[in-house]
Every structure is written in structure tokens, then in C-alpha cells.
Structure 1
């Protein structure tokens, strides 16, 4: 039953009684253990940690034994061999004959890469660009790359574009880590239609068995208010309004972004800030009619107009 280390991150115990138990990773021994029966599922895991803890170039040279830690956001996980510039170890230029040989080696190294490797390289280049535009943390991008790799292994790429799948993976990772990004934000940055993004997202959730929790509405209040430069008191009052709405149970089944925008709109009215519903609609990506209807319900249920 014991296997050597492989790239399969979803190894599980074959016993029926252990399927509900999570696996335990022992980094010191390099083993993955079943949490139910204690059976060793994988052994001889390579140490992928980065040992250098120095804060200067001298410390880096002295302490660095390994290279940078491996990353799922690289098509080869950072383990490929790179043929450098046309200089030797002393910094001198190589002879013309040797230079020609190394150029040929670079060419054949590029040509020998598989089609899957080339596709992953393009996908993760797009992912890094979306990360920069949306300001998404590195751990969320790592999670998105992991979901995309599972999508490729599940052979869900047939009939679907690379941009839509990588965008759906990024949105799923944002949902799992509670990073407030809407479908419209992801679709705009990924340059795809929202309809296609929603379709591929549903496919990924169904085929991979993902369990995505609903966004925290309060995070959208912070995002919208910061983008619109609203007063701090307006933001705090919007949090209070949202908390009262949750107590009255009028947020269940409602769009979290629309609820956040409506709470901010009502808070702006209470604090004398003149911001139109159209501006909230443009910033939040929700129609002004929806914001108006949600605001009317909030005022009626919380009796804020009295």
C-alpha cells in the first residue's frame, strides 16, 4: 500500500471506513498518513521548503542550500533547467562555436516541451496578469493554480477556452479564501463573457466536488466604500445596518454585493453624504433598481425612515 512520492495531491485511503477522515502530512518524516487507521499512504516526500532566513546578500550566500520553494503557479513547479547567457563561470564570453551549440540546445529544449507544458505556461502567465490587476494574494493564486491543474487532470479542457477555465479557477479560489471579487471583476480582467465564466464555474464545482461558501457581505462594504472614498462613519454605520439586517433575517438568499451597496446607500442618506444610486451601481456592478429595492426593504424592516 505504501507508495513513493508522486504528483498526486489527492491520495486517499482505500478503506471505506477511512474515506471521511482527512490525511495527515508529516513533513519531518516525509510521509502522508491516513487519519483513520494510521496507514502510511505516501513516503519519501521531497523537502520543498526554502531554508534561507537571511536578510542580507551575505547571509543569502552563506545560508542558501536550496533554491526557491516550488510553486504550483509555475508550469514546471520551478524545477526546470535553464540554459543561461553566453558567458562562462568567470564572466567571459564563450567562443563562437560553443555559443552556437548552446543556442541549438536552447532551441531543442524549447521544442522538446510537451503541449501540456506549453498550455500550462500560457495559462499561468494569464493568471499572474489577473493577480496583478485584481490585487489578489499569493496564497489565493497558488490555490487557483491547484484547482486549474485538477481541472486539466480531470480532462475538462475539451470544448472550453483556457481563459475561461483559469478565470473560473481564480474565482473559486477567491470564494474559498473569502477574497471579495465578483464574477464581473474576474470576467472583465480575464476578457471573457460573464455567461461563459458562470457556465465553466458550475462545471468545475460539479466535476471536482468543490464546496464554496457564500461571501461575507461585510467585506464588500469595505471594498465599495474604500473605492468610493466614503467617510469612516458612513462605513461603520453600514456595518451596523448590515448586522441588524442579519438579525431580522432579511439577508438570506439575497445578493451579497447588492446587500452591501444598499446598506452603504442607506448609511449615506443617514449621514448626509450625497451619493447617487447610479454611482453605487457602477462601482458594485449591480443595477440601480436592485439597490433601490433592497434599500426600501431595509428602511421598512429596520424602521429607519421614522
Structure 2
């Protein structure tokens, strides 16, 4: 049966053979189709995009038709009710009686908002703050807001803090989009304990049935080397060491950040850059013992000579 479009949905085909196939969105026709059998799951989707290409306020006022695009990172998705200033359409001031009526309307508009709306507003304010601290792209933040809304609808907020759930949603979104951010980075930005963040992340993965792939280790090499201002040749040698490790099958089951830090440490030795394991430990958030063990294994397997 066809359904009308809603932003709060998870479209899935009900056939058992189509469970592994994704839902395909056709923006031109405004439909969502099953990727397995071709059944139309959703129709009459509203256009959430914004077609104005103007770059000035004047162009915006002239060309705007639908307003800005809706966003899941806003508590009302950008469709809020705004009662303007005490002036009419011609710019004249309202009478005292009309001002009083509009003030009462503003008061009741504020009071009529549900508790869920106020909670979402606080959560997304925290999410935007973490986005600025960690340098997260907008599409990842949008995905994190989507995961947090699913967690709220699944009633996972009971017994858990808002900050830990927002942080767990953001980390899961980073994993889905292969944005290299560690649990320690997200925990520090969200001001939550790593233990609590890890616990709530496991809950979200289990309850929402998420399938998070492991991070690409090479992305952590770029991140750590850029933060430590290492030479470009050192970075390339670290990529080469990592590629050889993957061919030897010694990266399976190993911590990706530790593997990246150990590859960079060995590349620094090969290029004469004197940086201690302790500095790599502080920058990567992995203990120097772990980095040392990974480096010994790499040297022994690849037969590297210092």
C-alpha cells in the first residue's frame, strides 16, 4: 500500500527477499522504490530542496519560492511559526489593543510547544557545538540528528543523559561516513565519560540495528600526520607501510588508530624525524605500549631496518 511522505520514517519492503536491498529515492518523481522488486513504497514526496541560486539578500527576496531547505538538525525541521514585530505589512505601528493580542499569541505559542520540542532544541544546540569543535561536515551532522531522532522515538532516553546519546549518535554517524573521529575525541567534545559513551553507543547499535563498518586506517594516518606537522614523505612512507601490512594480513583485529600511529612512527624513524612514541600516544589517544607492540610486529613482519 502506498503511503504519504513523512520525515519520521524508515521505509522497508515487507517481502523477505528484499530485506537486503536498499530503498531508492527518485527525487524527480517524488517516490521511494524498493531496490529489489521495484515496488513503490512512498509517493507524493514534498520537495525539500531549495532552488534559489542568488547570493545576496536582494536575490533571496526576489527569487525565494519555498524558503530554505528543511533540516533534521532543527527541532522543528525549519518549519517554525514566527510572530513578527509590532508592525503591520505597511510598516505602521499597531494599536495598543492589537499589540496586547499579539503578545498573548506569542505567549501561548511558546507555551503550546511540547516538552519533546524543547528537549530536541537543547540536544541539537549541543550537536552544533560538537560539530564546531570536531570539524564535522554538515551531511554527517544531519545523519547524527536523524539517528538521535530515531533513538528518541525508540524511547532510549530513559535512564540516559541527553549529552551521551547525542555524542553516541554523532560517533555512529562518523563511522557510517568514514570521518576519522575517535571515541575519546567525541567524549571530550560532548563532555561525557568514555565509558558511558561506549555503553550508549552499544545500545544504539543494538536497538536501531546499525551496521557500522570499521574505520579506514589510512584516514587516521592523514589526521595524525597533519596534527603533528610531519613531512609529506613521511606520510607517504606510512601509507606504503600500511599497504604492505594489509597484504601480510597483520591489520585484522588491530586497533586502526594504533596501527596508523605505529606506521607513522616507523616512517619517522626511516626519514630521520625524531619523534617519541609518547608524543604519538598523546596525539592519537592510544597508549605508547600498544604503539610499541604494533611497531615491533610491523618491523618483524616486513623486516624493516631502522
Q: TM-score, normalised by structure 1?
A: 0.94
Counterpart of 1:205 in structure 2 is 205
Counterpart of 1:115 in structure 2 is 115
RMSD in angstroms over aligned alpha carbons? Answer: 1.7
Counterpart of 1:153 in structure 2 is 153
Query: Quick one: distance in 2 between partners of 1:275 and 1:176?
Result: 32
Counterpart of 1:84 in structure 2 is 84
Query: Quick one: distance in 2 between partners of 1:266 and 1:126?
Result: 39
Counterpart of 1:285 in structure 2 is 285
Query: Quick one: distance in 1 between partners of 2:239 and 2:17?
Result: 45
Counterpart of 1:254 in structure 2 is 254
Cα 1:14/1:252, change in 2 over 3 Å: closer
Deviation at 1:145, TM superposition (A): 0.6
SS of equivalent to 1:272: coil
Structure 1: runs of 5 or more not aligned = none
Counterpart of 2:298 in structure 1 is 298
SS of equivalent to 1:12: coil
Q: TM-score, normalised by structure 2?
A: 0.94
Query: Quick one: distance in 1 between partners of 2:242 and 2:164?
Result: 33
Cα 1:33/1:245, change in 2 over 3 Å: closer
List per-residue Cα deviations over 1:248-282 (Å, max 9, x = no partner): 11111111111111111111111111111111111
Query: Quick one: distance in 1 between partners of 2:117 and 2:297?
Result: 53
SS of equivalent to 1:192: coil
Deviation at 1:91, TM superposition (A): 4.0
Counterpart of 1:273 in structure 2 is 273
Query: Quick one: distance in 2 between partners of 1:37 and 1:185?
Result: 42
Query: Quick one: distance in 2 between partners of 1:222 and 1:93?
Result: 59
Cα 1:179/1:98, change in 2 over 3 Å: same
List per-residue Cα deviations over 1:126-145 (Å, max 9, x = no partner): 00000000000000000001
- State the number of aligned residues: 306
Query: Quick one: distance in 2 between partners of 1:301 and 1:7?
Result: 51
Deviation at 1:231, TM superposition (A): 1.3
Query: Quick one: distance in 1 between partners of 2:254 and 2:240?
Result: 18
Query: Quick one: distance in 2 between partners of 1:202 and 1:84?
Result: 45
Query: Quick one: distance in 1 between partners of 2:122 and 2:250?
Result: 44
Counterpart of 1:106 in structure 2 is 106
After TM superposition, the structure 1 = structure 2 runs for residues 162-177 of structure 1, keeping only pairs within 5 Å, are 162-177=162-177
Bigger mean CA offset, 60-69 vs 171-180 = 60-69
After TM superposition, the structure 1 = structure 2 runs for residues 223-238 of structure 1, keeping only pairs within 5 Å, are 223-238=223-238
Deviation at 1:12, TM superposition (A): 2.2
Query: Quick one: distance in 1 between partners of 2:20 and 2:288?
Result: 46
SS of equivalent to 1:10: coil
Query: Quick one: distance in 2 between partners of 1:299 and 1:19?
Result: 45
SS of equivalent to 1:24: strand
Deviation at 1:93, TM superposition (A): 4.2
SS of equivalent to 1:265: helix
Bigger mean CA offset, 106-115 vs 211-220 = 106-115
After TM superposition, the structure 1 = structure 2 runs for residues 117-132 of structure 1, keeping only pairs within 5 Å, are 117-132=117-132
Cα 1:204/1:296, change in 2 over 3 Å: same
Query: Quick one: distance in 2 between partners of 1:228 and 1:92?
Result: 60
Cα 1:286/1:57, change in 2 over 3 Å: same
Query: Quick one: distance in 2 between partners of 1:132 and 1:95?
Result: 44
Counterpart of 1:72 in structure 2 is 72
